[in-house]
Structure formats: structure tokens, C-alpha cells
């Protein structure tokens, strides 16, 4: 049986056994919006931290960077964190970007997911 909410959304109740008190609580919370950050609070936080995919593309396409200067640190599910030269990482398409933990340039960390370092 489909049931409609006030805003037009529909839901299906399957094998539900709630008391009248539970329905009163659920009904009271239906119209509330989630508490997000206001625009002023978002501006105070500063620039958004760039993801590994954007840093990877910048190193790949920015002519001011030498690819051979960079090392990529990524997390292998079985071996832990490994480092690989950027040019070899280019060929490894089986490593998803969310496993990239850091980028180093000539031994110096220029992007790090854990500490939110972004020098690039």
C-alpha cells in the first residue's frame, strides 16, 4: 500500500508495527528542514579542499610541472600505503582516486588528504 506525504512524496510501509506514540513523533518531524550551514558560515570556512582527481589532472596537464618530480602515495587494500612515481601511476587505471593519500614533489608533500595540506 502506497501512502502519500503532504509534499507529494510517496512511501511504502512494509511490515510496520509502531505504536501511536511513534507515529506522533514521526509526524512531528516530517516538515522540518535539515540544519545546514548558512552562506556566511560557508564563506568563513575558506576555500574548499580539492580532491585527488583535480590535483592529478593539474599535474598531468599543467606544463609548469615536471611529472617526473612527483610521487603518488596510495592505499593498497592488502599492503597498506605505497608510493609510486607519477608517470607509472598514469598507467595504473585500476587504482581509484579515493585511495590516493598524498602527492609529493621532490620529497616534499604538496597534497595530503589526512592533514588537508594543499600547496599546489
pLDDT of 21-42, one tens digit each? 555 555 555 555 556 666 666 6
- On whether residue 61 sits in a domain, the answer given is yes
* Per-residue pLDDT, 39: 64
What is the C-alpha separation between 89 and 83, in angstroms, rounded?
9
* Per-residue pLDDT, 83: 94
- On whether residue 17 sits in a domain, the answer given is yes
What is the C-alpha separation between 68 and 95, in angstroms, rounded?
19
- On whether residue 38 sits in a domain, the answer given is no
Report the SS3 class of residue 59: helix
- On whether residue 15 sits in a domain, the answer given is yes
Number of domains in the chain: 2
In this structure, the answer to whether residues 62 and 108 fall within a common structural domain is: yes
Cell numbers linked to 120 = 599546489
* Percent of the chain's residues with pLDDT above 90: 38
- On whether residue 93 sits in a domain, the answer given is yes
Average pLDDT over residues 84-105: 84
* Per-residue pLDDT, 47: 76
DSSP percent split of the chain into helix, strand, coil, nearest 5: 30, 25, 40
For the whole model, what pTM was predicted?
0.60
In this structure, the answer to whether residues 56 and 114 fall within a common structural domain is: yes
Query: Within 10 Å of residue 74's Cβ, how many Cβ atoms?
Result: 19
- On whether residue 58 sits in a domain, the answer given is yes
Query: 41: part of which helix (H) or strand (E)?
Result: helix 39-44
Are 100 and 92 in contact, with CB atoms under 8 Å apart? no
* Per-residue pLDDT, 97: 85
Q: What is the domain range of residue 24?
A: 2-32
In this structure, the answer to whether residues 66 and 106 fall within a common structural domain is: yes
- Residue 59 pLDDT class (50, 70, 90 cuts): very high
In this structure, the answer to whether residues 21 and 57 fall within a common structural domain is: no
- On whether residue 44 sits in a domain, the answer given is no
Amino acid at each position: 500500500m502506497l501512502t502519500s506525504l503532504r509534499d507529494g512524496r510517496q512511501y511504502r510501509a512494509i511490515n510496520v508495527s509502531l505504536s501511536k506514540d511513534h507515529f506522533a513523533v514521526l509526524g512531528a518531524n516530517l516538515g522540518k528542514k535539515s540544519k545546514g550551514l548558512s552562506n556566511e558560515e560557508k564563506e568563513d570556512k575558506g576555500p574548499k579542499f580539492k580532491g585527488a582527481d583535480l590535483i592529478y589532472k593539474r599535474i598531468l596537464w599543467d606544463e609548469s610541472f615536471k611529472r617526473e618530480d612527483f610521487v603518488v602515495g596510495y592505499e593498497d587494500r592488502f599492503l597498506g600505503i605505497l608510493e609510486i612515481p607519477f608517470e607509472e601511476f598514469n598507467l595504473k587505471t585500476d587504482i581509484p582516486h579515493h585511495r590516493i593519500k598524498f602527492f609529493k614533489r621532490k620529497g616534499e608533500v604538496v597534497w595530503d588528504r589526512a592533514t588537508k595540506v594543499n600547496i599546489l
